[in-house]
Amino acid sequence: MRHVTSVLLALLLAGCTTDSESARGVAESFIDEHYVRMDLDAALAHTTGLAKHKVEEEIRLVGGQEIDGETMRPSVTYELEEERAGGEDRTSLVYRGKVTLSGGDAFDLRWLISVRREGDVWKVSNYEEMQ
């Protein structure tokens, strides 16, 4: 019985994780890098097209300001709200997020993340913040 319980638990946990190479996995990796860890260079690696241009512009605008252990970062949590398939090679995902600032103030955001397949790899092709 213990073995069956272990197998069921492993299957349940596997079902709760997102494949990092799937469209959803790439969108969530992008959100993690861009908004949670505030690492624009790492977020850039998940982009193409207009999304790449937007992140490059953000990198230019912050112009060398370092995000390090001393930087007060907001707490960001999010969940998938909706997924809209656009065929085999495109999909759009809507996420609802909560951003809590270090002083305790919080606000809600939604992100529309467009993802497309380039060869065998999914990339974020555009993103939009909505309140």
CATH fold for the domain made of 20-130: Nuclear Transport Factor 2; Chain: A, (3.10.450)
Mean pLDDT of the chain: 86
The one-character DSSP state at 86 is -
- For 13, the token pair is 């946990």
**In the chain, pLDDT over 70 holds for what percent of residues?**
82
Across 64-105, the runs of DSSP E, i.e. the strands, are: 75-85, 90-100
Provide the pLDDT confidence category of residue 71 given band limits of 50, 70 and 90: low
Rounded to two decimals, what is the model's pTM? 0.81
